[in-house]
Amino acid sequence: MKIKVVTLCSGYDSQCLALERLKRDYPGFDYELVAWSEFDPESKLPIDKQPAVIAHNALFPQWAGRNLGDMTKIDWTRLKGERIDLLTYSTPCTDVSQAGLQKGIAEGSGTRSSILWYTRNAIKVLRPKFLMMENVKALVSKKFKPFYDKWIAELYELGYDSYARVCNGTEVNVPQNRERIFVVSVRRDSEREPEYKFPNPLPCTRTVEDILEDEVDEKFYLKDERVQDFIERIQHGEG
């Protein structure tokens, strides 16, 4: 039986890349991406021309027609009755990250990060068995912890027990010091109490040198004027 999946703020969908690896390594495992949501409200391009959507469609052309677009406007009742096993939501970290301006994540604030709260619309209708959130470590910092705690409390009221841990890329043999908060929420069913345990960290045996390419196509190089634009933005405090 295929695992039925919905991903929000999908980007190129690293979650589905992980599921593809499971398909490769475990014969008999399979999944279906029932729906996904990727949309850049600040882009002036049509949705199918936006970079993240192009990347997603290139990796998963079989699901190209299942992008529901702006998650703040989705009518989830169109999927009501569909069995959903896993819902993932990597909502924007822009206004929480230390690399941004930290405008906040409060519901109704209008920041990009505040669309987190629209996730509840999907949860209430779809009632997935499992939820998974990934975001920057700053979400559990002193400044934003009250909003994080409020969200976890809401998940509990919706019938989910949540398990969280800050994980570093080095813990999964990725040579990058990149910390992220992961929250796995399990729906409470009457027949048993939910339980989840994060896997033990793996030793990091690789270095950056192991993954760098000897020759890089020039199409990946930034033009001088683009580099200068980045520098000027940083100097003016624009991130």
3-state secondary structure the chain: CCEEEEEECCCCCHHHHHHHHHHHHCCCCCEEEEEEECCCCCCCCCHHHCHHHHHHHHHCHHHHHHECCCCCCCCHHHHCCCCCCEEEECCCCCCCCCCCCCCCCCCCCCCCHHHHHHHHHHHHHHCCCEEEEEEEHHHHCCCCHHHHHHHHHHHHHCCEEEEEEEEEHHHECCCCCCEEEEEEEEECECCECCCCCCCCCECCCCCHHHHCCCCCCHHHCCCHHHHHHHHHHHHCCCC
pLDDT for the residue 237:
61
Domain count, the chain: 1
Q: Sorting pLDDT into bands at 50, 70 and 90, what band is 211?
A: confident
Percentage of residues in the chain having pLDDT higher than 70: 97
Instruction: Identify whether 239 is part of a domain.
Output: no
Instruction: Identify whether 83 is part of a domain.
Output: yes
Instruction: Identify whether 219 is part of a domain.
Output: no
Q: What CATH number is given to the structural domain containing 94?
A: 3.40.50.150
Please say if the pLDDT value at position 235 is more than 80.
no
Instruction: Identify whether 48 is part of a domain.
Output: yes
Q: Which of 9, 93, 167, 204 is catalytic?
A: 93
Query: What's the average model confidence in pLDDT over 155-174?
Result: 95
Instruction: Identify whether 47 is part of a domain.
Output: yes
Instruction: Identify whether 224 is part of a domain.
Output: no
**Is 167 among the catalytic positions?**
no
Instruction: Identify whether 227 is part of a domain.
Output: no
- Report CA 25 to chain centroid distance, whole Å: 23
Please say if the pLDDT value at position 234 is more than 80.
no
Residue range of the domain that includes 137: 3-210
- For the entire predicted model, the pTM comes to 0.87
Instruction: Identify whether 222 is part of a domain.
Output: no
